[in-house]
Amino acid sequence: MFSLIKKIFIKTLQLFFLKKNKNLIMVGTGYGGMVIVNDESLNNSIVFSAGSGEDISFDIELINTFNCKVFLIDPTPRAIEYYNFVSKNFGNKKTTEYEGNGMENPTSYNLEKINNDKLQLVEFALHDKNESDINFYQPPDESHVSYSLTNWRGDYSSEGSYITVKTTTLKNIKEK
């Protein structure tokens, strides 16, 4: 349901704002993408992208469009596995279209300019403290990938399935 609402919202933005404000562009898929201001200040910038999951179309297109360096920040097992899957395809051309279902095949990305310097995964949770252990609560639907620091899907109970992950700060990532 949320995916449908997001798609409708993005289509509304495209209809009303993209046509009126030519500085706005859609970057990535309808699922994992965002509407951003197309501004030259993004050229050669550094981007910190928390919660990569299994659709990094936004991040890949930022690199391809603006020559950014992107740090994906996600300690969850599926995000790590997905990044490793995608990284095996670095340097490859796009051969398929986006599916927009939340789990993109790496062949749908233009990875010709992508390498380990341009796109890096930080396997920590973004937090205000370094090297703390925190619980990341699993989504109730195992087909979903988004974990949460609070068990909001379980009425904020301390019970429920979770993984324990290490934390890092933005400052710590910048210094490395």
Residue 126 has a pLDDT of 92
Kindly state whether residue 144 falls inside one of the protein's structural domains.
yes
Kindly state whether residue 158 falls inside one of the protein's structural domains.
yes
Kindly state whether residue 146 falls inside one of the protein's structural domains.
yes
Kindly state whether residue 46 falls inside one of the protein's structural domains.
no
Q: What span, in angstroms and rounded, lies between the C-alpha atoms of 129 and 76?
A: 18
Percent of the chain residues topping a pLDDT of 90:
64
**3-class DSSP assignment, residue 30:** coil
Of residues 139 and 53, more confidently modeled: 53
Burial class (CB in 10 A: 0-12, 13-18, 19+), 148: middle
Look up the domain containing 150 and give its range: 129-176
Kindly state whether residue 85 falls inside one of the protein's structural domains.
no
Kindly state whether residue 164 falls inside one of the protein's structural domains.
yes
pLDDT, tens digit (0-9, with 9 covering 90-100), for 79-117: 999 999 999 999 999 999 999 898 999 999 999 999 999
Tell me the sheet residues that pair with 37: 24
**3-class DSSP assignment, residue 167:** strand
pLDDT, tens digit (0-9, with 9 covering 90-100), for 8-31: 666 666 666 555 666 889 999 999
Kindly state whether residue 35 falls inside one of the protein's structural domains.
no
Asked whether the predicted pLDDT for residue 4 surpasses 70, the reply is: no
Over residues 167-173, the mean pLDDT reads 94
- Tell me how many domains the chain contains: 1
Residue 18 has a pLDDT of 53
Of the candidates 97, 74, 100, the residue with the CA atom closest to the CA atom of residue 168 = 74
Kindly state whether residue 122 falls inside one of the protein's structural domains.
no
Contact yes or no for 76/147 (Cβ under 8 A): yes
Alpha-carbon torsion angle 126, 62, 43, 23, nearest 10: -110
